[in-house]
Amino acid sequence: MNINEKINQQNLSSRRKFVWGASILSAFVATAATIGGSFWNKKKNATSIGKGTAAKTIKMLTEDGKLVEIDASLITTNAKKVTDAELKNWIKK
């Protein structure tokens, strides 16, 4: 066996180790993403009140065009749908 054949076999074995390692790692990542995907995406609400109850806020536009957050419990449910013409006349510039 000459030197070139030894180097070729060493390269081949290191390539095999790399391919096996990469495939095992990718299989682990795919499994973790499938099973625990929702675990990493959970966001904790900074405006939580009391024991695990989160304050729900709604983003609304003021008359002067500013975006504000309002507590959802302050909004009444007997709202009607606004037409385009009413909306255009309502906003002050």
E strand or H helix at 60: strand 57-61
> Same domain, yes or no, for 58 and 78?
yes
> Same domain, yes or no, for 69 and 85?
yes
Percent of the chain surpassing pLDDT 70: 70
Q: What is the distance between the alpha carbons of residues 73 and 45, in angstroms, rounded to a whole number?
A: 17
> Same domain, yes or no, for 63 and 85?
yes
Query: DSSP secondary-structure letter at 91?
Result: S
Q: Using one digit for the tens of pLDDT, what is the confidence trace for 14-45?
A: 888 889 999 999 998 888 878 876 555 555 55
Percent of the chain surpassing pLDDT 90: 12
Here the tokens at position 24 are 């095992």
> Same domain, yes or no, for 37 and 1?
yes
> Same domain, yes or no, for 2 and 38?
yes
Give me the domain span that covers residue 85: 48-90
User: How many folded domains does the chain comprise?
Assistant: 2
